[in-house]
Amino acid sequence: MQAKAAADPVRAKESIASYLPYWLHRIVILFTGLLIFFPQANPGRISLKISEYASLFTTATSRATITNSMGRILREEWIRQSDITLLMIGSAVVLLGILLSAVGGCMSLGNVRMRKRGCLFPMGGGLIMLAGCGVIYRAYQNVLAHGTEVDRLGRIDPNLPAGLPLFAVLGALITLTGLIIFFMLRGRQAEEKMDMDEKFRLFLMFLPVLLLTFVFAYLPIYGWRFAFFDYKIGDALNGDNFVGLKWFTFLFENGATRADLGRVLVNTLAMSGLGIATSWLPIAFAVFLAEVPSSKFQRFVQTFTTIPNFISWVLVYAIALAIFSTDGFVNSFLRLLGNNSAAVNYLDSPDHTWLKMLLWGTWKGVGWSAIIYIAGISGIDQQLYEAADVDGANRWHRIWHITIPGLMPTYMVMLLMSIAGILSNGMEQYLVFRNARNTDVIQVLDLYVYDIGIGQGLIPLSTVVGIFKSLIGVTLLFGANRISKAIRGESII
């Protein structure tokens, strides 16, 4: 017994030690994958004329971005187009190596056979990364040599980026850890076929969603730094234009800005409030559609009402213009009926703008929003309906006592999420329907941020407004979560 007890810690230490290379391997791959989106780590900024906001991903995919400030330099051939092409090829090769390494990192979650196959990908991917870094370094040498030849080094500002040796070291680490794993697995018995635990398969299925969420929801938070600088488009962020909390105080001290923000918040809360007040419409639509006996008619109606969700707001406005403009269908029909009074441009009028936006949004989204409730209805136990029929319940009784209670948990979650996002009601709809007469009642917070940021060039002020909007949204989310726990006893986060 004592010998067995003494052997257990040894076995546990061996197990932990055997997993350390895997975790190091995955962490290095993950860290390398994240760096491709950060401009400070860009290994392809071989000239200071390349935008400091260009990341490795941008350098490999957008020629216009890395050459937009090189007009004369390229025209005079102080930097040759072939060197820019070589730079983009090297950056793309580095990205390819990272992608192969990521595939191997995912395969390292499988059984022995899958791990043996998977360790080959990062070994090759790391070497490909090193080759890509070599190509980028060659492009830098070409720029340096040609700049010296034409005596224009001061104009082209050659630069050996710090990200280049960083990615080379990471590529070497990925190759090294892949080799270690390969030798660790050499003597182990492999299964007949590659396999992976279900929990890891589900994680990998969800991984693209996590990556997209990181890139489009969390990575932009890095842009909050603009709120602390007196930034103009094209400027660099440095100590010369650092202003601290100037724009935060300006937002509340300036009377005109306070008035605009108050008006915009009223519009935002009013239209979001109308949306929340009518959030029961999708559930009602789903319930009534489920009661239709004809399955063909159900599919037709569901398809017909879902299609508007995939129509852009620009096309929706074109449809509205064809119906409600001065020469649209409504005014033309009224003239046919003998109404010769002046035509009314219903889209141009500021009257009932909030209601109009609600109706257009409902028409566009009710079918799509009902899908989750239709799926919820199909998941309700059919034995409940059969028992209700035996007890003499009619259709309305079944709806009220079985269908609606079965959908209420889903509805409550969607409702609380809507409350948490009350300040985020989008921009596109209000942008296309806006005109000079209704702008005061249609401008919502997202559109206001767009106007002052892109329209007026006040990037720091728009960033400050966006920060406060995000913080209020997070506060509302946790508040809604507390309400959910208090009322339903369940948490939504």
- Could you tell me if 345 and 325 are in contact, meaning their C-beta atoms sit under 8 angstroms apart? yes
Return d(Cα 445, Cα 404) in angstroms, integer: 34
Confidence (pTM): 0.73
Residue 147: pLDDT band with limits 50, 70, 90? confident
- Rounded to a whole number, what is the distance in angstroms from the first to the last CA of the chain? 46
Of residues 6 and 37, the one with the higher pLDDT is 37
Mean of the pLDDT values across residues 195-202?
A: 88
Distances in Å between the Cα of 409 and the Cα atoms of 377, 405, 414, 487, 491 are: 12, 8, 9, 11, 11
How confident is the model at residue 3, as a pLDDT?
43
Residue 267: pLDDT band with limits 50, 70, 90? very high
Does residue 79 carry a pLDDT above 70? yes
Predicted confidence (pLDDT) per residue in 392-444, tens digit = 888 888 889 889 988 988 888 888 888 878 888 888 899 999 988 888 999 99
- Could you tell me if 427 and 390 are in contact, meaning their C-beta atoms sit under 8 angstroms apart? no
Does residue 255 carry a pLDDT above 70? yes
In sequence order, the 6+-apart residues with CB closer than 8 A to the CB of 422 are 268, 269, 272, 273, 276, 473, 476
Residue 76: pLDDT band with limits 50, 70, 90? confident
How confident is the model at residue 16, as a pLDDT?
55
In sequence order, the 6+-apart residues with CB closer than 8 A to the CB of 53 are 39
- Amino acid at residue number 353: T
> Is the alpha carbon torsion for 275, 278, 283, 289 positive or negative?
negative
How many C-beta neighbours within 10 Å does residue 454 have?
Answer: 12
Return d(Cα 167, Cα 95) in angstroms, integer: 11
Residue 257: pLDDT band with limits 50, 70, 90? confident
